Structure 1
Amino acid sequence: MKLYSFFRSGTSHRLRIALNLKGLAPDYIPVDLRVDEQAEAPFKAINPQGLVPALEMDDGRVLIQSPAIIEWLEERHPTPALLPADPEARAHVRALAAIVGCDVHPINNRRILQYLRKQFGADEAAVNAWCGTWITAGFDAIEAMLAKDQARGDFCFGGAPSLADVYLIPQVESARRFGVNLGQWPLISAVDAACATLPAFAKAAPAAQPDA
């Protein structure tokens, strides 16, 4: 397999974590978003949407969109599971992941920030404030959900990483990059510390990638 990725992309980061947790190590193909390589014809031939990540399978078929790829991983490589067996628990984990994947990341990704800079003249302080607003809203909700789960272990759910951690940790990395004070959320910070001890997360970190 080939993973088309950018080291600082949150969606690429979450997929790298999921692949590592599943014990898979595709070839890493960097796509440099800093020079808009994702918008050029060679990559658009791989992913017509012009976004990372993309996962090319051994037979040449290409999967796009990190939620869809992670669902495929869960179906094709079910152990270790990223979702609990209980339907209500699965919904809870999916909700935690969706706070990041649906409500925080999409309005803080590079395309949106570039638009704010180019169309509205936003400087870096304004961009950071924009990102911090939506990260704070999402993290406040996640922190409250973590506090309410009295059976939770060191991670977002239970005693092992789940889909929720796969989504949360890249957003924590983004929060640091945008100057958000993580001290506001001690439970999220503790989950981040627990994940950082695991090779699957450490190897997926932006600084550990060959294009960093």
Structure 2
Amino acid sequence: MYFLFLFQPILYSYFRSSASWRVRIVLALKGVDYEYKAVNLVKDGGQQHSEEFKALNPMEQVPAFVIGETALTQSLAIIDYLEDVYPKPAIVPEDPIKKAQARSLAELITSGTQPLTNTTVNKLLHKENETNRQEWCRYYIDKGLTAYEKMVQSTAGKYSVGDEITIADVCLVPQLYNAQRFKVDMTKFPTITRIIDALSELPAFKAADPGVQPDCPEELRKQ
């Protein structure tokens, strides 16, 4: 598979997509040079629905990660690929227990929380009632973070699992954006807040932030 190094990878991303954000963090942590191609999930009814993009990802979601003629989809699968091909720094612990703990925390976000509040769900709920949409998203984000807070109290060191950055941290940080967007009370989650504050100071996490992406609207751009 190493012939794929001959090609500069392309990340199809949307600046505030949680799933794309996870991949951007890992790319930055591992120092991988890549081309950024924006897919606006709102403009023109959503550019992810175009025939061109559906050829890359029939699920019509970002991210898509293209190496040569190969397109990879689903953020955790892309991250697994990056972990295999760019093993340092590792984001998956070698210890089997810590590895399972990190994966469990990651999937709590990627499977049990974020999909319930993503763009597709938001559009469907918005058609019904804006107040219900806000309440729905706030409820499920709160539920996910409540579980994460309880679990991480027994695994955390400096970060979610011990003192090294793991896949759990990569998935946690983008969820804060959604929590703030839907006005979740973060004071209930002191361990999560401490971890995110520490991670947010790291260069790789700053580089992956939505506010510095090429497709971030000017009014939301970080200076």
**Cα offset, 1:103, TM superposition:** 0.4
**SS of the residue aligned with 1:56?**
strand
Alignment partner of 1:122 out of 122, 126, 129: 129
Which deviations, in whole Å up to 9, do the C-alpha atoms of 1:33-75 show, x marking residues without a partner? Answer: 0121110112112222211000111x22111111110111111
Match for residue 221 of structure 2?
A: none
Could you say which residue in structure 2 is the equivalent of 1:155?
A: 159
1:25-64 to structure 2, matched below 5 A, reads 25-35=33-43, 36-57=46-67, 59-64=68-73
- The farther-off stretch of 1-10 and 17-26 is 17-26
3-state SS, counterpart of residue 208 of structure 2 = coil
SS of 1:29's equivalent in the other structure is strand
Where does the alignment leave 5 or more consecutive residues of structure 2 unmatched? 1-8, 217-223
Partner residue of 1:23 out of 18, 31, 50: 31
Residue correspondences, number: 206
The 3-state SS of whatever aligns with 1:14 is helix
Give identity over the alignment, percent. 38
Quick one: distance in 1 between partners of 2:119 and 2:60?
12
Amino acid in the other structure paired with 1:206: P
In the other structure, the counterpart of 1:86 is 95
Quick one: distance in 1 between partners of 2:33 and 2:187?
34
Q: Which runs of 5+ in 1 are unaligned?
A: none
Question: Hey, what's the Cα distance between the residues in 1 that align with 2:29 and 2:129?
Answer: 38
Match of residue 100 from structure 1: 109
3-state SS of paired residue (1:28): strand
Aligned to 1:9: 17
Give the 3-state SS of the residue equivalent to 1:189 in structure 2.
Answer: helix
| Cα displacement (A) at 1:181 | 1.5
Q: Which residue of structure 1 aligns with residue 86 of structure 2?
A: 77
Matched, 1:139 2:145: yes
1:171 aligns with 2:178: no
- Indicate the residue corresponding to 1:67 in structure 2: 76
Q: Distance in 1 between matches of 2:158 and 2:95?
A: 19
Query: Post-superposition shift, 1:148?
Result: 2.0
Counterpart-to-counterpart distance in 1, 2:76 and 2:65: 12
Shift of residue 138, structure 1, vs aligned partner: 1.1
Deviation at 1:141, TM superposition (A): 1.2
**TM-score of the pair, normalised by structure 2:** 0.89
Please tell me the residue identity of whatever aligns with 1:56. Answer: V
Describe the SS at the equivalent of 2:113.
Answer: helix
Structure 1 runs of 4+ with >2 Å offset = none
Partners of 1:203 and 1:25 in 2: CA distance: 12
Question: What amino acid does structure 1 have at the position aligned with 2:187?
Answer: G
Instruction: Quote the RMSD (CA, aligned, Å).
Output: 1.1
- 1:191 maps to amino acid: I
Counterpart of 2:200 in structure 1 is 196
Question: Aligned partner of 1:28: which letter?
Answer: Y
Q: Secondary structure at the match of 1:38?
A: helix
- Distance in structure 1 (CA, Å) of the matches to 2:115 and 2:172: 14
SS across alignment from 1:187 = helix
